[in-house]
């Protein structure tokens, strides 16, 4: 299959008290809408099953574990998998994963159209901090609750398309897209939960955040000649606003579809994966033009080192 209709299923706010079962019902409603529009695949956000819990400081491990899934699918998510199978639609979504040996990751999975999980990704670039910060207006404790992903940036041939995944902050790092691009990726799906305007941020600040999100996704798409689908969790979660701005980007970096609300909202675009070939073979042609002898710093150091 070289042409697919890809839908981005933006989710509005999920409150702390909202159950996974109620969220899954919302996800299924968007899945049904996508089916009515002929979608072949639906992309959901990061941590799609719960509120963005890293905004709260917790010390009790049992309190933390409540937010994590120990298997996928599980009782709460099985109806989503069953519906996707019945509709013959592939899906990808993010969740908090606790492994059998006690490791904690910010994870996403992708299925085929028979609802079989064909790929798993664990978030590599964790933002935020690990201890309570008295100076912050709100906490961002991903480094407290998650370990950096240990699976790397992989791709899977799924439904005839080479697919890769990333999560939220990963989209701001060009290395994410380049490693996927060097494996011939044709579709990158990225879910995110990004804070929006608050008491210390103007409307202009929100506009800049949306611009930077767009910039990251569009640049990654163009520079690696791949479709990119970035899907947000949005709206006011227990007093903590998240921005929307979900978009679908083509291999030339142009936005094909954009969400206009901060609610549950479906965006959709027809993606012709033959269009990835021109950039890969003609505009960039990595094999002919990359000069890896000059790129050593990218993997030999982390922070900036000034030598002049």
Indicate which residues carry an active-site annotation.
Answer: 46, 123, 168
Q: Could you give the angle at the alpha carbon of 196 between the alpha carbons of 180 and 68, nearest 5°?
A: 60
Task: Give the 3-state secondary structure of 195-229.
Answer: ECCCCCCCHHHHHHHHHHHHHHHHHHHHHHCCEEE
Q: How far apart are CA 206 and CA 70, in angstroms?
A: 35
- State the Rg of the chain over Cα: 19
Task: Give the helix ranges, DSSP H, for the chain.
Answer: 20-36, 61-65, 78-87, 142-145, 174-181, 203-224, 276-278, 286-289, 297-300
- For the record, the structure tokens of 195 come out as 């804070």
Distances (CA, A) of 295 to 38, 110, 125, 175, 288: 43, 32, 20, 12, 15
Q: How far apart are CA 99 and CA 72, in angstroms?
A: 11
Q: Scanning the structure block, which residue is given the tokens 């989209």? A: 171
Q: How far apart are CA 10 and CA 264, in angstroms?
A: 5
- For the record, the structure tokens of 166 come out as 């990333």
Instruction: Give φ, ψ of 27 to 5 degrees.
Output: -65, -40
- For the record, the structure tokens of 149 come out as 């992903």
């Amino acid at each position: 299959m070289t042409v697919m209709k890809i839908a981005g299923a933006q989710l509005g706010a999920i409150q702390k008290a909202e159950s996974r079962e109620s969220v899954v019902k919302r996800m299924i409603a968007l899945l049904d809408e996508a089916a009515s529009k002929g979608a072949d695949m639906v992309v959901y956000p990061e941590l799609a099953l719960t509120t963005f819990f890293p905004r709260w400081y917790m010390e009790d491990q049992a309190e933390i574990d409540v937010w994590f899934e120990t298997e996928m699918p599980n009782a709460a998510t099985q109806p989503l998998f069953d519906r996707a199978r019945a509709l013959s639609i592939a899906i990808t979504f993010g969740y908090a994963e606790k492994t059998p040996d006690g490791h904690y990751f910010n994870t996403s999975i992708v299925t085929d159209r028979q609802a079989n999980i064909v790929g798993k990704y664990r978030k590599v670039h964790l933002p935020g901090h690990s201890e309570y910060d008295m100076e912050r207006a709100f906490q961002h404790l991903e480094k407290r609750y998650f370990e950096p992903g240990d699976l790397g940036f992989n791709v899977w041939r799924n439904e005839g398309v080479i697919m890769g995944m990333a999560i939220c902050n990963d989209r701001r790092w060009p290395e994410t897209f380049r490693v996927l691009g060097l494996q011939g990726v044709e579709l990158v799906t990225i879910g995110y939960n990004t804070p929006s305007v608050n008491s210390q941020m103007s409307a202009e600040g929100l506009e800049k955040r949306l611009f930077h999100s767009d910039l990251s996704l569009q640049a990654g798409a163009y520079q690696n000649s791949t479709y990119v689908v970035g899907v947000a969790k949005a709206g006011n979660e227990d007093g903590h606003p998240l921005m929307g701005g979900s978009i679908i980007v083509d291999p030339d970096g142009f936005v094909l579809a954009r969400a206009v609300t901060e609610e549950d909202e479906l965006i959709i675009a027809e993606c012709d994966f033959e269009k990835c070939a021109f950039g890969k073979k003609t505009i960039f042609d990595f094999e002919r033009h990359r000069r890896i002898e000059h790129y050593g710093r990218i993997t030999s150091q982390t922070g900036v080192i000034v030598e002049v």
